[in-house]
Amino acid sequence: MHLPDGLTLLQAVVSGLLIGGLFALAALGLSLVVGVVRIVNLMHGELVLLGAYVAYGLVQATGLNALLVAPLAALAVALLGWPIERFVLQPVVRHGEEAPLLTTFALSVIIQNLLVFLLGADTRSIDSGYGATRLQLGGVSVPMMYLVGFVVALIVCACVHLLITRTAFGRRIRASAENPGDAAVVGVPVRRLYALTFMLAAGVAGLGGALLGMVFSFTPSSGVEYLLTGFTVVVLGGLGSVVGTLVGGLALGLVESFAAAFLGDGYRLFVGLVAFLVFLALRPAGLFGRRA
Amino acid sequence: MSVATTRRGAQRGRVPLAVIALLAGLALLAALPYLLGTYWQQLGFRALQLFTLAVAWNLLAGYAGQVSLGTGAFVGLGAYAFALLGNATGAPLPLLLLAAGAVAALFAIIVSPGLFRLRGLYFTIGSLALAEALRILMVNLSTFGGASGIVLQASTPPFYALYWLALVVALVAGGIVVALLHSPASLALRAVRDDEDVARQMGVRSFRVKLGAFALAAFLTGVAGGLQALKLGAIEPYGAFGMAWTIDTVAVVIIGGIATRGGPLLGTLLYVALGELLRDLPELHNAIGGLFLLLVIRLAPQGVWGLVTGRWAQRPGLAERADG
Amino acid sequence: MAEAAALRVESLSRRFGGVAAVDGVDLEVHAGEALGVIGPNGAGKSTFINLISGALAPSSGRIVLFGEDITTCSADARTRRGIGRTHQIPRPFARMSVWENLALAARHARGGHDMRSVRANCRSILERTGLADVAARPAGALPLLRRKRLELARALALRPRLLLLDEIGAGLIESETRALIELIQSIRAEVEAVVLIEHVMDVITACCERTAVLASGRLLVVGDTRQVLASPEVAAVYLGTTDAGSGQAEDAAARPGAPATAAAALLEVSGATVNYGGVRALRGVDLKVRAGEVVALLGANGAGKTTLARAISGAVPLAAGSIRFDGSPISGLAAERITARGVGHCMEGRRIFASLSVEENLLLAVPPALRREAAARLEEIYAMFPALPAHRHKSGTALSGGQQQMLAIGRAMMSRPKLVILDEVSLGLAPIAVAQLYESLARIRATGVAMLVVEQNIHRGLQLADRACVLAHGSVRLAGRPEEIRGSRELRELYVGEDAGA
């Protein structure tokens, strides 16, 4: 452990916040699925990962700019989300609480291994087009992609926030998250809503993955890391609000950044996980506070 | 007149048959190294090790109701404890295995006050995070060899010795759990699983029950980890603490039949057989295993054992037990 | 005297958010007695039992069991000190056999945990509760009545000193109730005291020497059972006659467009049977509501009124029978489809979404067919309830109780339903708020929509009704015109028990 100087700390703060935006984006889908559809989605990490792989594939195949390709990747993952929710998850909900959880676990195993089988276990990363360009702010220097990712994440979070707070669809989502039984009696088509919400969540996750893939490298087994990042953000920021997820993401970004600065890069994830466990034990309401 | 008596009474004609079959099976298993070559001995080792893990997980998740995804943590702890203590003391193998289990159990006991504050699904996610955190920590701690791990000083025993060791471990594990499930403690265990609040209302000290199951499962898992260290001769954090342990164990138990007596055994046999069929395509093996897991959850929640015994229960004279 | 108290609670309170479910209750249970605890819906009876058994921790106050302060003891510690309880909705360990359920409790019984005494204990209890023949079956496979017996058996296996029975008489028919009363009387000698929470007055009068009445979380009165049940105050709390309006004349005048009896049935319920929460909540109920008609559905707590309402709107499945609306069957359809067909449901307890504003709560209920007219419809509802628009952007639950109820009714009306179900709209409201509410309901009735008014409060329920129907124990006991029902002596008996006033 070494004591970093002021500039390094400032660097850590800035890059931590910027990355945190991406964390929030990557976690947003999980927040929606856990909070609204009420399924603990252990394959969330793989949805994020698929976004990265699809974006990678599209860039390789078409040579288009990675940022242009990202929405397409998001769409692809969203479309995959519908049959998963409708045909694989919905039917097992009635078997109890653990059944959907273990089903998503099984799905994550399947996807991970199919990725290795079909594409190999090599580490990949997406060429963002910004290369090694760095942004200079005073003495602090961060890769340009961090800032781009942060801005995109912010925009998407804002859009999802507006969707949830200003539209009829968002009204139905909020009502179902609070009490699906009552929502149904009031006339909300809850089953269909779950499917649409899952699609939205998958799409957002995919977008997050595509962007993350431009910043960090990934392998078929990166899913677990994305999953735990997602859960940490949700526990830190609270379930049920986009703003909360954003705050949670920024907080986690900072925590990991400081861990790297003080303890070394290898401890980045470790400290994040410790933070997760501590918060989980102290504030389980942060995860399921909205349960009726 | 307990239920057990009723069952035995109805099955009086069948008891000798089952005992004979069991003894014959055991004899065959013990004689395996004389009958088959080293490849099969290795496979047998793997199956017995997996069986031990499955028995432990079935106890924790199936009978105590705590679905843990942290198997990897305890395998790793056991493996590292075995290697470090072996290198430091050179103690005999059985003692080292016990120590490996004890270290894993100790860790379980230490984290349980915090971990058991998490009920149900929180516990599951928490156990996953714990396993991952431990893995990353071990990668970074150079005292334990960091990313390159530790090499065992003692030489690796021949395959048949490993096999027999694993056989003993598996039998002991199976025996302990079966004894536990037939003891009065099993009532408290299943009560906590089915409805923890009502269990406490009936006087059950639910924390102690959960802790006991968790510690025992951790112990058995740690011993299996010790076996792994012994077999490999060298361990490193990615393999020792990897998710693969959790995935294999969960798949085996659920496909075999969670909370059933025969589930771990049947699941192990099926899973290992599948692995052999797809020997050259390990990822495909895992993916198909995942697919089976999916199908079982959807179509046969009691697993293959449940399917098989469900059909047998139609025959007259067999008392029907809810917990298979 | 204090030493002879089996249980003493002092200033016991439990708050949930801002609401006190139990509010400063002082009560003593004498050694050797059986104390009944009664009270209308929402009185706090279940919370009270949960506080004593340890399932809930109190917000303030003390609980003393046989001279020992157990306020901070956990549930299992209280069991070791001699408390045994049954649950309102039976909660057996479903995957364990009946025998195992008992054996578990017996192992934690006072005195004697070895296998022999456990076996003897269980065997004897199985005999006495009539469960010996199902000892080996999984508890989850038991029919409802057997499950209730298992609840009692399991509590007895603990060899408790204080036995808490939570609505053990609910959902039983008369013969079953008699058998239960005999069983309770037979076990009196084994326990030092019993507390019975009940709605079934027969059980109370047969088993309890003293009875306590809870209302809105407070202790209203406690004393000799017969005297308490005969008291006019207690009757008022149940029948809701405290806010007596100006009488029948007002109602007769306000009924201009009563439909001809030949009008077709809009809603037809036939033989509806519902098993809900381990109890047979409805047994073969028949009900008809014609277009434009107002039908009152009355009955004491636990009679099955809300269950019927929820069965109609699809929130609860039918075990048997059928429900037809507007000519086509609706039982088995998803709740949102039934709403789309023209059934509006203002749910018991209002069920306003806290995460939505007043306006959003209303807009949520607009069906796809009416989407274009949403804004116009919103204005119509605001005109119906002028108190609402001022708060349109506040969270739905930030309003007062009366305003929330208006919001709930308005929400049910947003979809222009042909039939609106109003479930206990007067619950928990001050008389003035209730009066205002019913003025609005009269205006709604004038628009020609059919209404099913579920009420515990008889006076209010009958106020607008063209016809009325009284439920008890899940079946229809009385039906007819309001005048006929109001004067009937049976009505009072159904609410407060037979011979209570005779």
* pLDDT at residue number C496: 63
Nearest beta carbon to residue B190 from set C54, C93, C141: C93
Q: How far is CA B49 from the centre of its chain?
A: 8
Within-domain flag for B21: no
- Reported residue count of chain B is 324
Mean pLDDT of chain B: 86
* pLDDT at residue number C254: 43
Tokens of A146: 């961090």
* pLDDT at residue number C488: 78
Within-domain flag for B193: yes
In this complex, is the C-beta atom of C93 within 8 Å of any C-beta atom belonging to chain B? yes
Return the higher-pLDDT residue of A291 and B246: B246
Nearest beta carbon to residue C76 from set B184, B190, B205: B205
Q: Which amino acid does the sequence have at A129?
A: G
Does B200 sit within 8 Å of C99, measured CB to CB? no
In this complex, is the C-beta atom of B120 within 8 Å of any C-beta atom belonging to chain A? yes
CB B122 within 8 A of CB A280: yes
pLDDT grade for B322, boundaries at 50, 70 and 90: very low
Q: What average pLDDT does range C413-420 have in this prediction?
A: 93
Q: With the C-alpha atoms ordered C369, C371, C376, C381, is the resulting torsion angle positive or negative?
A: positive
In a mutagenesis test of the C interface, which of A186, A188, A194, A243 is the best target, namely the one with the most C β-carbons within 10 Å? A186
Query: In chain C, what residues touch A241 (CB-CB under 8 Å)?
Result: none
A198: closest CA of chain C, how far (Å): 20
Within-domain flag for A9: no
Nearest beta carbon to residue B194 from set C53, C75, C96: C96
* pLDDT at residue number A144: 86
C451: closest CA of chain A, how far (Å): 17
Q: How far is CA C18 from the centre of its chain?
A: 22
pLDDT grade for A106, boundaries at 50, 70 and 90: very high
Nearest beta carbon to residue A190 from set C336, C354, C355: C336
Within-domain flag for B51: yes
Q: What does pTM read for this prediction? A: 0.85
pLDDT grade for A164, boundaries at 50, 70 and 90: very high
> For B97-113, what is each residue's pLDDT tens digit?
999 999 999 999 998 88
Percent of chain C with pLDDT over 90: 49
Please determine, for residue B212, whether its predicted confidence score (pLDDT) is greater than 60: yes
Nearest beta carbon to residue A171 from set C340, C363, C411: C363
Q: What average pLDDT does range A91-97 have in this prediction?
A: 84
Classify residue C90 as exposed, middle or buried by CB count within 10 Å of its CB (0-12, 13-18, 19+): buried
Q: What average pLDDT does range B22-36 have in this prediction?
A: 84
Nearest one of A140, A146, A189 to A169, comparing CA atoms: A189
Neighbours of C, requiring at least 3 CB pairs below 8 Å, are: A, B
Q: 10 Å Cβ neighbour count for C358?
A: 27
> For B137-182, what is each residue's pLDDT tens digit?
988 887 787 788 888 888 888 888 899 999 999 999 999 999 999 8
Please determine, for residue A14, whether its predicted confidence score (pLDDT) is greater than 70: yes
Within-domain flag for B28: no
Domain count, chain A: 1
Q: CA angle, corner C183, sides to C180 and C188, nearest 5?
A: 130
Q: How far is CA B276 from the centre of its chain?
A: 20
pLDDT grade for B91, boundaries at 50, 70 and 90: confident
Mean pLDDT of chain A: 88
Query: In chain B, what residues touch C87 (CB-CB under 8 Å)?
Result: 198
Superfamily of domain C2-239: P-loop containing nucleotide triphosphate hydrolases (3.40.50.300)
Nearest beta carbon to residue A105 from set B114, B126, B250: B250
Nearest beta carbon to residue C364 from set A177, A186, A290: A186
Does B3 sit within 8 Å of C76, measured CB to CB? no
Return the higher-pLDDT residue of B116 and C262: B116
Does A188 sit within 8 Å of C415, measured CB to CB? no
* pLDDT at residue number C473: 81
Find which of A60-64, A148-152, C471-475 is predicted with most confidence, using mean pLDDT: A148-152
Percent of chain C with pLDDT over 70: 91
pLDDT grade for C501, boundaries at 50, 70 and 90: very low
Q: Which amino acid does the sequence have at A243?
A: V
In this complex, is the C-beta atom of B23 within 8 Å of any C-beta atom belonging to chain A? no
Domain hosting residue A155, numbered range: 14-126+140-284
Please determine, for residue B18, whether its predicted confidence score (pLDDT) is greater than 90: no
Does B298 sit within 8 Å of A102, measured CB to CB? no
Please determine, for residue C222, whether its predicted confidence score (pLDDT) is greater than 50: yes
Chain B residues interacting with chain C (CB cutoff of 8 angstroms)? 1-3, 6, 184, 187-188, 190-191, 194-195, 197-206, 259, 319-323
Please determine, for residue C435, whether its predicted confidence score (pLDDT) is greater than 70: yes
* pLDDT at residue number B277: 87
CA distances from residue B211 to B44, B46, B60, B207, C332 in whole angstroms, order as listed: 31, 28, 10, 6, 44
Nearest beta carbon to residue B202 from set C99, C123, C158: C158
Neighbours of A, requiring at least 3 CB pairs below 8 Å, are: B, C
Within-domain flag for A134: no
Does B200 sit within 8 Å of C76, measured CB to CB? yes
Q: With the C-alpha atoms ordered C337, C343, C346, C348, is the resulting torsion angle positive or negative?
A: negative
Please determine, for residue C110, whether its predicted confidence score (pLDDT) is greater than 80: no
> For A242-283, what is each residue's pLDDT tens digit?
999 999 999 999 999 999 888 888 888 899 999 988 888 777
CATH number of C241-252+266-496: 3.40.50.300
Please give the interface size between A and B, counted as residue pairs whose CB atoms are below 8 Å apart. 117
Q: How far is CA C372 from the centre of its chain?
A: 39
Within-domain flag for A290: no
C80: closest CA of chain B, how far (Å): 6
C96: closest CA of chain B, how far (Å): 6
Does B204 sit within 8 Å of C93, measured CB to CB? no
Q: What average pLDDT does range C82-107 have in this prediction?
A: 91
Please determine, for residue C153, whether its predicted confidence score (pLDDT) is greater than 60: yes
Does A172 sit within 8 Å of C364, measured CB to CB? yes
Please determine, for residue C251, whether its predicted confidence score (pLDDT) is greater than 50: no
> In chain C, which residue's Cα lies nearest the Cα of A188?
C336
Return the higher-pLDDT residue of A7 and B47: B47
The DSSP bridge pattern shows strands C343-346 and C419-423 to be: parallel
Does B294 sit within 8 Å of A106, measured CB to CB? yes
- Taking a contact as any Cβ pair under 8 Å apart, which residues of chain C between 14 and 73 contact chain B? 53-55
Does C75 sit within 8 Å of B184, measured CB to CB? no
Nearest beta carbon to residue B121 from set A97, A113, A264: A97
Instruction: Please tell me the number of Cα atoms within 13 Å of C431 on its side-chain side.
Output: 9
Domain count, chain B: 1
Query: In chain A, what residues touch C352 (CB-CB under 8 Å)?
Result: none
Q: List residues bridging with C422 in a β-sheet.
A: C346, C453
* pLDDT at residue number C396: 86
In this complex, is the C-beta atom of B191 within 8 Å of any C-beta atom belonging to chain A? no
Please determine, for residue B258, whether its predicted confidence score (pLDDT) is greater than 60: yes
Query: Same topology for domains C2-239 and C241-252+266-496, yes or no?
Result: yes
> In chain A, which residue's Cα lies nearest the Cα of C363?
A168
CA distance C98 to C120: 15
Q: Kind and range of the H or E element at B186?
A: helix B185-194
Q: What average pLDDT does range C181-186 have in this prediction?
A: 91
CATH for A233: 1.10.3470
Domain hosting residue B211, numbered range: 35-242
CA distance C170 to C199: 7
Does A106 sit within 8 Å of B290, measured CB to CB? yes
* pLDDT at residue number B14: 60
Classify residue C291 as exposed, middle or buried by CB count within 10 Å of its CB (0-12, 13-18, 19+): middle
Please determine, for residue C246, whether its predicted confidence score (pLDDT) is greater than 80: no
Place of tokens 């959880």: A101
Please determine, for residue A284, whether its predicted confidence score (pLDDT) is greater than 70: no
Nearest beta carbon to residue B283 from set A42, A88, A116: A116
Does B118 sit within 8 Å of A231, measured CB to CB? no
> In chain C, which residue's Cα lies nearest the Cα of B197?
C55
CA distance C184 to C181: 5
Within-domain flag for A270: yes
Please determine, for residue C465, whether its predicted confidence score (pLDDT) is greater than 60: yes
> For C296-317, what is each residue's pLDDT tens digit?
999 877 788 989 999 999 989 9
pLDDT grade for A84, boundaries at 50, 70 and 90: very high
Query: In chain B, what residues touch C96 (CB-CB under 8 Å)?
Result: 187, 190-191, 194, 322-323
CA distance C56 to A269: 39
Does B243 sit within 8 Å of A102, measured CB to CB? no
